[in-house]
Chains A and B, each alone.
Chain A
Amino acid sequence: MSHHLPEISDEPVIAEVIAHTNFLVSTGATGTRFLKEIRDNKKIMGLKCPGCSKVHVPPRLHCPTCFVKMTEWVELSGKGSLTSYTVVRYQEPYMPKEPPYAYGVIQMDGADTGLAHFLGEVDLDKIKIGMRLEPVFKEEREGSILDIDYFKPSS
């Protein structure tokens, strides 16, 4: 019977599909403490390793080189220096800001690791590595790293 039926096309088919995801991320006890200090007290805190004495900002529970738990919280001034940056001039879905915008890695005074964040109140063409920066906190804070609106040049 089948050989009497008309031929079916080999025309390539592309299946358009949309994957829906709705993941949750736990910041854990350590991440929560860090974010709560920003939200409730506008303070940036780091964790100091008992092995190598390095201060981690943002904090993590274990030191990556010593694999020991870090428990000593250190309060930082929030001021720091820019170690690297870029200016984003293109747009794609799920970006946190409208381009153009700048973000960079900020080495906080008293910290041994860098924190990535946005740069604001600055001419995008006048950003310089090594420039001094300080955080600008949002009025309404909800327990997110974006409770820091951006880092601005500091006098």
Chain B
Amino acid sequence: MSTDQKQEQEFIQFRYPRQVPYQHSLGYQSKFANGLKQGRILATKCPVCGRCTIPPRIVCPFHHVKQTEWVDQGQRGRLVSAFKINFPMFDPRTRELQSWETPLVAVELEGGASMDGWCSELDTSKLKTGMLLEAVWRPEEERQGRGDDILHWKPVEE
């Protein structure tokens, strides 16, 4: 290296891409996944405070009692928040990096529990907090027992 040619100092770095497989037991929460495959949203209910929660839990985190009751949360809910993801993100199903047109919504279900989902209305200016949404399911053979078995949430006229 000549002295008058100031070169950037070299620092050696390594990359090591890995794909690590895991098998996570859903345990007591299995009923939630099995419900989705049947087109139903189930949540556990605390016998003390009456809260319904998704993810479901075997014990109420507040009252430390067993939550033996499962409550069907219905097919409708109210919009809590909605926004578009304006940058490429990985599709959780395919692991492919892609752009997203559909808004991501948080929905408070009729049964009281909340969950995430996609929204069929692409124009976010038409989405308002508290508006009524209805689940539109993937065909049964495409369902995997995951939240995105619900293809999207569709606004409902009231």
Question: Within 8 Å by CB, do A and B touch in the complex?
Answer: yes
- The contact of A17 among B11, B22, B35, B40, by CB within 8 Å, is B22
A24 within 8 A of B: yes
> How far, in whole Å, are A113 and B40 apart by their CA atoms in the complex?
62
**Size class of the A contact interface (CB-based, 8 Å):** 20 to 34
Main secondary structure of the interface of A (DSSP, over half): mixed
**Which residues of chain A are within 8 angstroms of B104 by Cβ–Cβ distance?**
none
> How far, in whole Å, are A17 and B26 apart by their CA atoms in the complex?
12
Question: Which residue of A has the minimal Cβ distance to B14?
Answer: A25
Question: Which residue of A has the minimal Cβ distance to B34?
Answer: A9
**Is there contact, CB below 8 Å, between A2 and B71?**
yes
Interface residues of A in 1-31 (CB under 8 A from B): 1-2, 5-6, 8-29, 31
B64 within 8 A of A: no
**Is there contact, CB below 8 Å, between A13 and B26?**
yes
**Is there contact, CB below 8 Å, between A13 and B30?**
yes
A32 within 8 A of B: yes
Distance of B75 from chain A, by nearest CB (Å): 10
**Which residues of chain A are within 8 angstroms of B145 by Cβ–Cβ distance?**
13
Name A residues whose Cβ lies closer than 8 Å to a Cβ of B: 1-2, 5-6, 8-29, 31-32, 35-36, 94, 143-144
- 18 example contacts (A-B, Cβ-Cβ < 8 A) are as follows A1-B72, A2-B74, A8-B34, A8-B40, A9-B34, A12-B26, A13-B145, A14-B26, A15-B24, A15-B33, A18-B22, A19-B22, A21-B19, A22-B15, A25-B15, A25-B16, A29-B9, A32-B12
